[in-house]
Structure 1
Amino acid sequence: MRFFLGGYGADMGGDADGIGVLHAGAPDDALAGGELAWAGTAAAAASPSWLAWHPTLDVVYAAQEGRGDVQAFRRTGPGTFAPLGPAVPVGDSVCHVAVSPSGASLIASCYGDGRVVRVAVDATGAPATVAGAAPGAPAAGAASVDPHAGLGEERAPHARQATFVPGGFVSTDLGFDSVRVWSPPSAGERAAPALRQTVTLPRGSGPRHAVWHPSGHLYVVTEYSNEVFVLRPGSDGAWMLVGGAPLVGTEVGVDFPAEIALSRDGRFAVVGVRGSNTLASLRVDGDGGSLASVALVESGVDWPRHHVIARDTVLVAGQRSSEIASLTLDERTGVPGRVRRRVEAPTPTALLADR
């Protein structure tokens, strides 16, 4: 299989010179358990720390974190891309991009200033141009408000990720310990997303990344309290916290969970934990509203910033060790095995499977 890699470049203290290419076995293999090979740079870019596909077009969007903008790239070959239109400034330290299922817009999350920004996309996949406005006409949603204000020292918002769900999208604010629920814009390319609800998590938990489960639940991993919270919308559309589970074996203040990904059948969730450099596996129970710890295993890399599950293989990006590791996943138990393969890759921060 072929994967594209996001990474940190010189402006973020890393060695990546753009979007990288990783082969797990032959590029056209259906499985990812083969030998790993670094296949060079697909496109020059400035610290493209997160990558996302357009849902129907051969276009990839990169969050260029150090520059605070989003750049679209069109595919020019099996493993190459070229810029599509100019980069769109969105905010300080943009760290994540999510593209709407329709492909009409994308949502950029900005860690530095907490902004959640919508960028319109045209029929070619490029940021749309509005007369008299900058390409993409970025429109920020309502500013985040600290639900725990007055309970301690003043804090800053840190938007971390957006996840599209039925009826809109949700975004995590790591700085303000909240998950915000948004409706899609009503009309117009410049319309900002409409904030519908804020779900407050415990102070100091630090919600980072989330994944939507087929059962209709959202699993949110926290960077500071080392937990996974379970949220879902009720029959009236209001979201609520319905459960959660600690990442057993991790240590608060030493370990910092990063990504959460589901197994192919949705029976397990796997969380990457920076610090102890481990992978925590949890079992999905009941109707999907509860989670139970299964195992904590070595990830094989230093600072597992991101990982993906490709059927029976877990690929882990080690930001500080500048490598990708490959582990088997026992699909019956949800437990990753030992590292089988590894390859050097410049300061990787994200993996994106080819399609």
Structure 2
Amino acid sequence: MRFLVGGYTADMEGTAEGIGMLTAGEADSTTGGALSWRGTLAVAPSPSWVAKHPTRDVVYATLEGAGAVQAFREQGPDSWVARGKPVPVGAAPCHILAGRERLFVTCWGDGQVVQLDLDAEGGIRGSATADAASDPYAGYDQEARVSHAHQSIVVGPGLVATTDMGFDLVRFWQTGSRAPRLVQQVTLPRGSGPRHGILHPSGHLYIVAELSCELFVLAPDDAGTWHLVGGTPLGTGTLDGDTAAELTRSSDGTLLYAGVRGSNTIAVMRVTGEGEAVSPLALVEAGVDWPRYHLVIGDGLIAAGQRSSDVAVLPIDARGIPGRATTRTEVPSPTCLLPLP
């Protein structure tokens, strides 16, 4: 398989030079072949998140340190070139949700959620900033908190959820108009720090909390209003000071995998009931330092170590539990892996 690799460059204290290329194993397996770092495909400052247009040979990267988004188009098998100029969005953009007609960009630095409209060829043609979040816990103490938007997730037709680590919020937006329209928000426990999430086939939305190392379960009622319906700590083996990162699931949806930085582990959780119940199953070594990102492909879990500057493959056994890393390769300051068709 081929993966585009996002990473941190010198402006974010990293060693990457831009968007890179990684190959791993066969098309449907990550443990049957060696990892291979192919080098930098497009020079760019700290492209920390990379997303692909659904139908065009265009990818979009958050230039986190520069506060902008850059489009790239494929020029050949080993080269992507910039398409247009970087588009300013907000402070420290860290995630892009790419659709056919628009992008949603979340900015960790100042909490902005920005919609970028696309032309027919996937180029960026305009932007609109959504309403800013308000801290539901304002007045709890005298120190004001800062909004930190972190991810966008499609949760229904024309409906996108965004996480806000700083204000402990999951906000829901109606899309399709000039700017996103806020329709609802769900408040999570103070200081939990919702970071990333995935929509389960059951219709439940799972959110991993970076600061409290918990997993929360949200679901809509019959009227379409979302509620917090469950949750669990990621595991008894997490340590003080650990921070959760990425969240993925098994192909059959019965297991969830959360990366935990600090102790450098992967938390495995079981999904039961109709999707509303989750419980810790195992906590295993990630095989890398500071597992910023991971994903499950075939019979392996690929973990990207931001601080160890490597990517490792952990084989998954019949129970769905990752084992010790069987193969790895040096990759400069990786923060994101994007599988390519």
Q: Same fold by TM-score, threshold 0.5 exceeded? A: yes
* Contact 1:181/1:195 (<8 A) preserved: yes
Aligned 1:55-134 pairs, distance under 5 A:
55-100=54-99, 103-128=100-125
Match of 1:343 in 2: 329
Q: Deviations over 1:219-255 (max 9, x none)?
A: 0000111100000111111110011111112446421
* Contact 2:71/2:123 (<8 A) preserved: yes
Q: Which residue of 28, 37, 42 corresponds with 1:30? A: 28
Q: Deviations over 1:274-331 (max 9, x none)?
A: 000000000110111111111000001000000011021110000000000111112x
User: Which amino acid in 1 is paired with 2:272?
Assistant: D
In 1, Cα distance between the equivalents of 2:337 and 2:90? 23
In 2, Cα distance between the equivalents of 1:243 and 1:182? 22
Q: Structure 1 length normalisation: TM-score?
A: 0.93
Match of 1:154 in 2: 144
1:280 aligns with 2:277: no
Q: Which residue of 266, 278, 297 corresponds with 1:310? A: 297
Match of 2:164 in 1: 173
Aligned 1:251-330 pairs, distance under 5 A:
251=238, 253-330=240-317
User: Which amino acid in 2 is paired with 1:15?
Assistant: T
* Contact 2:248/2:257 (<8 A) preserved: yes
Match of 1:6 in 2: 6
Q: Which runs of 5+ in 1 are unaligned?
A: 129-136
Displacement after TM superposition at 1:32 (Å): 1.9
* Contact 1:226/1:252 (<8 A) preserved: no
Runs of 4+ in structure 1 displaced over 2 angstroms?
249-253
In 2, Cα distance between the equivalents of 1:14 and 1:50? 14
Match of 2:185 in 1: 198
Match of 1:18 in 2: 18
Match of 2:227 in 1: 240
SS at match of 1:302: coil
In 2, Cα distance between the equivalents of 1:157 and 1:84? 31
In 2, Cα distance between the equivalents of 1:80 and 1:282? 39
Match of 2:199 in 1: 212
Displacement after TM superposition at 1:192 (Å): 1.1
Q: Deviations over 1:126-154 (max 9, x none)?
A: 102xxxxxxxx211111010011111221
SS at match of 1:85: strand
Q: Which residue of 117, 130, 134 corresponds with 1:141? A: 130
* Contact 2:28/2:298 (<8 A) preserved: no
The alignment of Structure 1 onto Structure 2 pairs a total of residues equal to 338
User: Which amino acid in 2 is paired with 1:220?
Assistant: I
Match of 2:43 in 1: 44
Q: Which runs of 5+ in 2 are unaligned?
A: none
Displacement after TM superposition at 1:56 (Å): 1.1
User: Which amino acid in 2 is paired with 1:147?
Assistant: P
Farther off after superposition, 250-259 or 219-228: 250-259
User: Which amino acid in 2 is paired with 1:40?
Assistant: G
User: Which amino acid in 2 is paired with 1:162?
Assistant: S
Q: Deviations over 1:10-31 (max 9, x none)?
A: 11010111101111136xx332
Displacement after TM superposition at 1:80 (Å): 2.1
Displacement after TM superposition at 1:334 (Å): 2.1
In 2, Cα distance between the equivalents of 1:311 and 1:41? 26
User: Which amino acid in 1 is paired with 2:326?
Assistant: R
In 2, Cα distance between the equivalents of 1:228 and 1:58? 35
